Amino acid sequence: MNRKKIGNLFVIGYQGLNPSDDFLRFVEEWGIGGVIVFARNLEDPENLPDVLKKIQEAAGKKIFTAIDQEGGLVMRILKGGSLFQSAMGLAATGDETLVEATYEAIAKEMLSLGLNWNLAPVLDINHPDNPGIGARSFGDQPEQVARFGCAAVRGLQKAGVLSCAKHFPGKGNARVDSHLTLPVIDNSVSHLEQNELYPFKKAIEEKVAAIMTAHVFFPAFEKSPDLPATLSKSVLTDLLRHQLNYEGLLITDDLEMGAITESFGIADAASRSFAAGADQLLICHSLEQQKAAAEKIYELATQNAAYGARLEESLQRIEKARSKLVKDCRKESLKELNSLHANLIETTHEKAVKFMKKDSQMQNLSQNEALLVMYPEISALVQVEEFHNQQGLEACIKKEFPAAICVQYHPKDSESEIMSKFEKMIKSGKPEKLVFFTYNSHLFPEQTLAANSLADKFSHSTAIALRNPYDLTKLSSFTATAAVFSFRTPAIIAALKTLKGELEVSSEGWPIKMQKN
């Protein structure tokens, strides 16, 4: 058995700005099929093409160069790249052409850095209690997710980047985060066919290049207790290949996530997933785990004829996908594309702003308004763009409202901690109006309590949900509430423009069903 055949099955991540010599030796020895890039590898994106060239030379062939560049909440190209709107924010525009244009623009920026495979779009149908999807989803209705998801697939593949529908067979209804533990979705087969599977069926019709598995247990499809879909032959082969007739590339979600590692070793999980029907195995972080997984599958393929047959199946799909990769990625520079896409970024964020409750006193604020603005410390939880790392959200606020008193809180602060920060900042006199930027307050009840307590102290107040819009359903004390579906700078600027009356305030076209407070 040739080790370089086995190496084709792996898409792996590396640490730091430059891969280690040990990593490159592993890539060369096994002829690794692909690499995945994270923000940790992109301190200076302009250096990435040379790094990817070095990895490709070690592999001895054209490789898949993957990234999670979804837009909104999940983006890896932050420094110098465009800050694209989230999937749910794009759905809020109601415009398929904008969705397709956005993903085509994402693809062009990827190609400028040598990246040829976007592990997007998300085709999960979101549930309000899902802790990990939220605004990464196009909405909570299967038809809507399918419509905008297929537009995303078209945009990416029109530009020459492979797309990847995730997370099959759909983890929007999960109530725990699979990064930490195994979710269970116990809906019936008929429910799953009409809901979770629908967007994937449409993406297959759209000829999506790849599909990513979900680390979720579906009792309706898999009889072995607590076996994640990623490791289930019933899901990956019987359902996806045979029932849905999918012939494209099938890649796992990261095998180092908690939903896998709490019950399985990573090498064991890799071999199980491959046997179940996965073509490529994603291991994003540990070189030692990557080596162990490759050795495990090599050993099994050498000893087991059935494994050898499975290997040939996957190699054929991998080669077919590889043949679609563009030969010359770089056409325009990232800087040039960032400038070209500026109007698209502004338009998609401005059209996404949605108000649940309106208050005319909070929609025509003067530049010198006496405002109290409470805002979350976002960088404590996620990686944000360089602008926010250096200056914070406060810089955006002060530019539009120089007289505002700005108070930062941590999203997980208790009600008393948030109220204490408020009290310390207003000893010299209380401002007249309140703007409270929330961050997942529907999942952090203390944040909700504090927000409502503060709103009760003001005659006029606006809550603006920066990440998931479900925050607004619990903020009954505010006189105005709005969602922007992203915490990125363009979303914040769009929100501030609505407060100044520079943008039309819209309450129509919500991408999800919202229960009014």
Which of the residues are catalytic? 253
Rounded distance, CA 93 to CA 483, Å? 12
494 contacts 355 by C-beta, under 8 angstroms: no
Rounded distance, CA 195 to CA 143, Å? 9
Q: What angle do CA 137, 75, 376 make, to 5 degrees?
A: 85
What is the dihedral angle through the alpha carbons of 367, 368, 369, 370, rounded to the nearest 10 degrees?
A: 150
Rounded distance, CA 517 to CA 505, Å? 19
Structure tokens at 216: 């979720």
Rounded distance, CA 21 to CA 393, Å? 39
55 contacts 11 by C-beta, under 8 angstroms: no
Name residues whose C-beta falls within 8 Å of residue 367's C-beta, 6 or more positions apart in sequence. 400, 401, 402, 403, 500
397 contacts 404 by C-beta, under 8 angstroms: yes
Helix, strand or coil, per DSSP, at residue 271: helix
Q: At what angle do helices 142-159 and 197-205 cross, to 10 degrees?
A: 30
Reported in sequence order, the residue ranges of 277-332 that DSSP labels E, i.e. its strands, are 281-283
What is the dihedral angle through the alpha carbons of 191, 193, 194, 195, rounded to the nearest 10 degrees?
A: 80
Q: Which residue has the tokens 């009014």?
A: 516
Rounded distance, CA 438 to CA 412, Å? 11
249 contacts 208 by C-beta, under 8 angstroms: no
Question: Rg (Cα) of the chain, in Å, rounded?
Answer: 23
Per-residue b/e over 231-268, b at no fewer than 16 CB within 10 Å? bbbbbbbbbbbeebebebbbbbbbbbbebbeeebbbbb
Rounded distance, CA 101 to CA 43, Å? 26
The closest of 59, 82, 17 to 341, measured between CA atoms, is: 82
Rounded distance, CA 183 to CA 185, Å? 7
380 contacts 444 by C-beta, under 8 angstroms: no
Q: Which amino acid is at 417?
A: E
